[in-house]
């Protein structure tokens, strides 16, 4: 009977993950055949390119890590296009939801209650308003955050338990995977490791500390094996490490400011306030939540903070939610009032944005106009010249709609990359000077920030066709030959 009930619960979570992503993940959902994403389309394009023999970093430049592209590659092997990305995304979200319920059960003393499912509501609200179409590093990172959190919470619930080295191994593997997806996504794991480190030092458990350090490093090493073997066989290890860590650092530290989702940090602070209201005395839980909150504040303020970055507040927020729902004491009028005000303050803005998100999905995301404009541009490009097309500062959706692979690894966001790296600027200049693409696509309202590239396009290219969204430039020399 218990096993049957367990599978019934898992079925509910599977249905929830599918329905939720079908509606909100417009960049991958079959419900929105004419909706496309930004980063999402790039990741899918790289995965599709890998099925055709292309190599990330050699053929697609980006600062995201190789594990992200392995995941996307797997999705495209299963099914080409949006559907493949959707399958992989659903799997990751489903695993994350299962782990959330398991953690809730740990807080509830392994007692199943309706409130366990209700605890997912705050997660779903923040997820819906920050995912920006889905298939981004943050939502694909959730399971690798929830696995260490599940392990640590189970350890935490047993006050006299020994922190087994196997736990450190789990932390290390998940940290390594996230470091090779996007290292800033690993703040929660770093917070767990820091908390364990401090606690073991405080308790003078030196042997246990050394064992966990060794097992953690072993886990990191295990996560690096596949990328090292893959890129070693392609002589691309240095290129992979440069893009993932060196350029990633340049990209992530170019500014210090909160982005458009700065109000979602309230949901992080919420967990601290809940601990105060509930008069929580567990110092390990206090340390974890405080360190994670500080770390997330720093990470969210770094670089080009985008809305989807704030999806990472979910695990820290859920710690407070789980603690609140599992509380067995008497709230009293003052506590109940304080908690009510806290919920209103923290979820009024996300609730308001959720209404806007739903309206946008219903009204805007099946607009066919952009799709038709891309197809019009593609019709002017001869089939035998589709291997010489470059989008200059053009949204990646152009490639995915056109079903064309870019001719150069710097396939988009060129002007931003050139600002960050003089080497990239030289390489892009060299591309246009000595190996000019036969066709260049820009947005219709494109204003060139780089005047050198603008002069080259004006001198060497002609406008083949223009519509409301894009301009197609053809190489003059190629036109004369034809």
pLDDT digits (tens, 9 = 90+) for 298-324: 888 876 678 888 999 999 999 999 999
Angle ∠(412,414,416) on CA atoms, nearest 5: 115
> What percent of the chain has a predicted confidence (pLDDT) above 90?
60
Q: Is the pLDDT of residue 158 over 80?
A: no
Lowest-pLDDT choice from 17-31, 71-85, 257-271? 257-271
The helix/strand/coil state of 390 is strand
> What percent of the chain has a predicted confidence (pLDDT) above 70?
93
C-alpha 261/C-alpha 304 separation (Å) is 12
Q: Are 181 and 68 in contact (CB under 8 A)?
A: yes
Q: What is the pLDDT of residue 1?
A: 44
Q: What is the pLDDT of residue 38?
A: 83
Confidence of residue 178 (pLDDT cuts 50, 70, 90): very high
What is the residue-averaged pLDDT of the chain?
88
Lowest-pLDDT choice from 209-223, 286-300, 365-379, 402-416? 365-379
Q: Is the pLDDT of residue 105 over 70?
A: yes
Residue-wise burial string across 153-180, b where 16 or more C-beta atoms lie within 10 A, e elsewhere = bebbeeeeeebebebbbbbbbbbbbbbb
| Mean pLDDT (whole number) for 391-402 | 91
In the chain, count H helices and then E strands. 22, 4
Sequence-distant (≥ 6) Cβ neighbours of residue 393 within 8 angstroms: 412, 413, 414, 415, 442, 443, 446
Dihedral class, residue 79 (left if φ above 0, else alpha if ψ from -120 to 50, else beta): beta
| Mean pLDDT (whole number) for 164-192 | 95
Q: What confidence tens digit (pLDDT) does each residue in 113-144 have?
A: 666 788 899 999 999 999 888 899 999 999 99
Structure tokens given for 146 = 């929830």
Q: Are 127 and 311 in contact (CB under 8 A)?
A: yes
Q: Which of 41, 433, 244, 451 is nearest to 32 (CA)?
A: 41
Q: Is the pLDDT of residue 370 over 90?
A: no
Structure tokens given for 147 = 């696995």
Q: What confidence tens digit (pLDDT) does each residue in 238-296 have?
A: 999 998 888 877 777 666 666 667 788 888 899 999 999 988 888 999 999 999 999 99
C-alpha 410/C-alpha 398 separation (Å) is 14
Q: What is the pLDDT of residue 3?
A: 61
Q: What is the side-by-side order of every strand in the sheet holding 439-443?
A: 389-391, 439-443, 470-475, 461-466
């Amino acid at each position: 009977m218990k096993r049957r009930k367990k599978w019934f619960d898992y079925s509910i979570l599977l249905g929830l993950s599918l329905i939720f992503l079908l509606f909100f993940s417009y960049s991958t959902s079959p419900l929105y055949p004419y909706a496309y994403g930004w980063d999402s389309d790039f990741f899918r394009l790289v995965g599709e390119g890998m099925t055709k023999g292309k190599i990330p970093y050699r053929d697609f430049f980006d600062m995201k890590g190789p594990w992200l592209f392995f995941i996307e590659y797997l999705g495209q092997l299963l099914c080409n296009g949006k559907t493949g990305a959707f399958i992989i995304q659903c799997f990751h979200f489903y695993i994350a939801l299962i782990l959330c319920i398991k953690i809730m059960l740990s807080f509830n003393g392994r007692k199943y209650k309706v409130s366990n499912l209700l605890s997912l509501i705050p997660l779903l609200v923040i997820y819906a308003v920050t995912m920006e179409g889905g298939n981004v590093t943050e939502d694909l990172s959730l399971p690798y955050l929830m696995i260490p959190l599940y392990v640590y919470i189970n350890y935490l619930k047993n006050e006299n338990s020994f922190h087994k080295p196997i736990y450190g191994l789990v932390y290390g593997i998940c940290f390594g995977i996230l470091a090779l997806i996007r290292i800033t996504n690993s703040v929660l794991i770093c917070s767990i490791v820091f908390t364990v480190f401090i606690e073991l030092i405080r308790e003078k458990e030196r042997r246990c500390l050394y064992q966990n350090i060794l097992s953690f490093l072993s886990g990191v090493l295990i996560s690096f094996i596949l990328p090292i073997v893959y890129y070693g066989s392609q002589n691309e290890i240095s290129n992979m490490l440069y893009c993932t860590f060196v350029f990633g650092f340049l990209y992530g530290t170019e500014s210090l400011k909160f982005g458009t989702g700065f109000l979602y940090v309230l949901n992080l602070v919420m967990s601290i306030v809940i601990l105060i209201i509930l008069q929580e005395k567990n110092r390990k839980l206090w340390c974890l939540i405080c360190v994670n909150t500080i770390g997330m504040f720093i990470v969210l303020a770094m670089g080009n903070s985008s809305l989807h970055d704030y999806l990472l507040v979910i695990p820290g927020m859920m710690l407070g939610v789980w603690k609140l729902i599992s509380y067995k004491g008497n709230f009293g009028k003052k506590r109940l009032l304080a908690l009510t005000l806290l919920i209103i303050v923290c979820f009024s803005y996300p609730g308001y944005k959720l209404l806007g998100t739903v309206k946008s999905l219903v009204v805007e995301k099946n607009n066919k106009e952009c799709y038709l404009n891309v197809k019009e541009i593609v019709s002017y490009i001869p089939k035998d010249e589709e291997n010489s097309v470059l989008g200059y500062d053009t949204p990646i959706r152009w490639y995915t709609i056109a079903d064309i692979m870019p001719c150069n690894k710097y396939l988009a966001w060129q002007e931003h990359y050139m600002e960050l790296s003089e080497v990239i600027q030289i390489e892009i200049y060299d591309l246009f000077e000595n190996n000019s693409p036969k066709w260049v696509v820009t947005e219709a309202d494109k204003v060139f920030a780089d005047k050198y590239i603008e002069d080259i396009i004006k001198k060497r290219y002609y406008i083949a066709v223009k519509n409301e969204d894009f301009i197609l430039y053809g190489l003059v020399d190629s036109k004369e030959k034809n």
